[in-house]
């Protein structure tokens, strides 16, 4: 075959190939149109569901262009995520507005905020939910999990500990509530908001109630004697509150008519002197009145005034005190307040008492001289020894005291010396850094 024939055949082949391509394009176009027509007839959604998704070309001839494309795709994905978060927040906000008592709204909105790292908004959402749903245990337990997660994310937020404490309080778990706040104080020791909230939380609510009143009357109806007891009654049923209430409740056993006026329970007209006193308007009396004397952020103190008369030569008067650690409900001993060694407590307080009394009146000065003389061997009578021993006994482990505005008040009963002297006390001011622990000093 010569060159001319070869050239002619090539031309024919090109024409045939070109014609075939045109026919292929036309056939593809017809098929596509037929498919689109069928989709429109049968419903686009059903047909679209059966389409094969397009597969992105895996060839990457241009690396720079490919990186740029990936970056654009990542940016687009992030934008989609942000849009989804914002949509979720708006949605759950609307849900709460429409259904404020639906716990799911608060939980899901808080979680959406956590995903955005908007922990303050998440905390506020859960606290709002706690106010709306204080009796929904399921919501409250879910809220605890989210609060714990937030603490892991941001342990320096005071509000997260307060919010967690509020949830536990709603569950009536005071111990866990206070522990949550203490956990926060450990992480944020200088945070005034958290510390103030903590001390407000441990300060109990109470009122003074008359928990005992008993009378003894004669056959003629005349009052022979009565006994009453008025104490603080704390609200709540936590362990610490129960401890404080129980301690006061135990006192009522000792102040019943039976225990105070046991010998008067017999027919009083068989005892002539009592009968005459009653007919003249006298009657036996025992009255105990507790009242608050002082409080700090951590402690609360009470003083009790007791008066009595049992048809003797005279009546009587005493003072008692109790100081509680509000965190635990435990009653404090004097050694819990003093900074001096327990081994030196008696002698130190004895000397303080003598010095304090000598600055009050002439009798105090006499007492100081008497004590000094006895210790120097100038006095050896039994009454002097009794007085000094009595003072020292009341300076020991069972010392009776309360906190008051002027300092720590230690009480000595009216028979420490003799009745005419009456009850006395020793006051240790709060600026006595040499005697008091730092937490009790001004």
> Mean pLDDT throughout 258-275?
76
How high is the pLDDT of residue 237? Answer: 82
Is the predicted pLDDT of residue 410 greater than 90, yes or no?
A: yes
Residues 6+ apart with CB under 8 A from 230: 208, 209, 210, 211, 288, 289, 290
Two structure tokens written together for 391: 């003072």
Is the predicted pLDDT of residue 129 greater than 60, yes or no?
A: yes
> Mean pLDDT throughout 61-83?
43
How high is the pLDDT of residue 418? Answer: 58
% the chain with pLDDT above 90: 52
pLDDT in tens, 329-354: 999 999 999 999 999 999 999 989 88
Q: At the top level of CATH, which class does the domain 77-202 belong to?
A: mainly alpha
Domain 333-442 architecture: Alpha-Beta Complex (3.90)
pLDDT in tens, 160-173: 999 999 999 999 99
Model confidence at 311, in pLDDT bands (50, 70, 90)?
confident
Burial level of 362, CB count in 10 A (0-12/13-18/19+)? exposed
Q: Kindly report, as residue ranges, where domains of CATH 1.25.40.10 are found in the chain.
A: 77-202
How high is the pLDDT of residue 280? Answer: 83
> Mean pLDDT throughout 425-434?
94
> Mean pLDDT throughout 402-415?
92
Higher pLDDT, 71 or 411: 411
Helix (H) or strand (E) holding 285: strand 284-295
pLDDT in tens, 195-222: 999 999 999 999 999 999 999 888 888 8
> Mean pLDDT throughout 50-73?
38
Q: How far apart are the first and last CA of the chain?
A: 124
Angle at 324 between CA 321 and CA 328, to 5 degrees: 160
> Mean pLDDT throughout 90-101?
94
Angle at 408 between CA 328 and CA 331, to 5 degrees: 20
Distance, C-alpha 308 to centroid of its chain:
40
Is the predicted pLDDT of residue 278 greater than 70, yes or no?
A: yes
Is the predicted pLDDT of residue 86 greater than 80, yes or no?
A: no
How high is the pLDDT of residue 281? Answer: 82
Q: How far is residue 44's CA from residue 65's CA, in Å, rounded to a whole number? A: 35
> Mean pLDDT throughout 230-238?
92
Q: How far is residue 28's CA from residue 23's CA, in Å, rounded to a whole number? A: 9
Is the predicted pLDDT of residue 3 greater than 60, yes or no?
A: no
> Mean pLDDT throughout 167-194?
94
Q: Kindly report, as residue ranges, where domains of CATH 3.30.565 are found in the chain.
A: 204-317
Q: How far is residue 181's CA from residue 176's CA, in Å, rounded to a whole number? A: 9
Q: Kindly report, as residue ranges, where domains of CATH 3.90.640 are found in the chain.
A: 333-442
Q: How far is residue 53's CA from residue 433's CA, in Å, rounded to a whole number? A: 84
Mean pLDDT rounded to a whole number for the chain: 79
How high is the pLDDT of residue 253? Answer: 86
Higher pLDDT, 403 or 269: 403
Q: Is there a contact between 308 and 286 (Cβ–Cβ < 8 Å)?
A: yes
Considering only 67-76, 142-151, 247-256, which range has the smallest mean pLDDT?
A: 67-76
Is the predicted pLDDT of residue 133 greater than 70, yes or no?
A: yes
> Mean pLDDT throughout 120-127?
96
Is the predicted pLDDT of residue 365 greater than 60, yes or no?
A: yes
How high is the pLDDT of residue 385? Answer: 73
Two structure tokens written together for 47: 């047909």
Range 204-317 classified under CATH 3.30.420 = no
Q: What are the angstrom distances between the C-alpha of 217 and each of 260, 279, 284, 431?
A: 15, 12, 11, 52
Considering only 168-182, 275-289, 376-390, 413-427, which range has the smallest mean pLDDT?
A: 376-390
pTM equals 0.69
How high is the pLDDT of residue 159? Answer: 96
How high is the pLDDT of residue 362? Answer: 66
């Amino acid at each position: 075959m010569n060159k001319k024939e070869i050239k002619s055949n090539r031309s024919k082949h090109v024409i045939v190939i070109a014609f075939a391509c045109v026919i292929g394009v036309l056939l593809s176009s017809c098929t596509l149109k037929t498919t689109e027509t069928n989709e429109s007839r049968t419903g686009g959604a059903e047909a679209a569901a059966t389409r094969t998704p397009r597969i992105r070309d895996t060839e990457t001839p241009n690396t720079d262009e490919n990186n740029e494309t990936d970056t654009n795709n990542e940016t687009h994905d992030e934008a989609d995520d942000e849009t989804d978060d914002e949509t979720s927040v708006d949605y759950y906000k609307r849900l709460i507005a429409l259904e404020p008592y639906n716990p799911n709204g608060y939980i899901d909105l808080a979680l959406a905020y956590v995903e955005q790292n908007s922990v303050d908004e998440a905390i506020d959402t859960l606290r709002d939910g706690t106010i709306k749903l204080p009796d929904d245990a399921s919501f409250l337990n879910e809220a605890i999990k989210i609060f714990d997660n937030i603490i892991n994310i941001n342990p320096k937020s005071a509000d997260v500990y307060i919010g967690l404490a509020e949830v536990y309080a709603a569950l009536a778990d005071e111990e866990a509530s206070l522990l949550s706040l203490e956990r926060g104080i450990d992480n944020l020791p200088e945070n005034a908001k958290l510390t103030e909230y903590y001390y407000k939380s441990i300060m109990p609510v109470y009122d003074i109630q008359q928990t005992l009143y008993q009378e003894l009357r004669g056959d003629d109806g005349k009052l022979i004697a009565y006994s009453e007891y008025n104490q603080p009654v704390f609200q709540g049923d936590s362990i610490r509150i129960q401890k404080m209430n129980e301690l006061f409740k135990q006192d009522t056993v000792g102040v019943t008519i039976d225990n105070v006026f046991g010998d008067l329970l017999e027919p009083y007209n068989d005892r002539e002197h009592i009968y005459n006193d009653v007919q003249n308007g006298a009657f036996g009396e025992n009255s105990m009145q507790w009242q608050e004397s002082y409080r700090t952020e951590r402690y609360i103190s009470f003083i009790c005034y007791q008066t009595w008369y049992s048809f003797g030569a005279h009546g009587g008067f005493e003072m008692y005190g109790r100081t509680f650690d509000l965190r635990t409900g435990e009653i404090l001993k004097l050694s819990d307040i003093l900074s001096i060694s327990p081994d030196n407590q008696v002698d130190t307080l004895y000397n303080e008492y003598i010095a304090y009394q000598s600055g009050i009146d002439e009798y105090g000065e006499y007492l100081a001289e008497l004590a000094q003389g006895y210790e120097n061997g100038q006095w050896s009578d039994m009454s002097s020894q009794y007085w000094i021993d009595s003072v020292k006994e009341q300076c020991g482990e069972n010392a009776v005291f309360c906190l008051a505005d002027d300092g720590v008040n230690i009480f000595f009963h009216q028979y420490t010396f003799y009745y005419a002297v009456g009850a006395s006390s020793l006051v240790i001011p709060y600026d006595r850094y040499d005697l008091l622990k730092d937490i009790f000093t001004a």
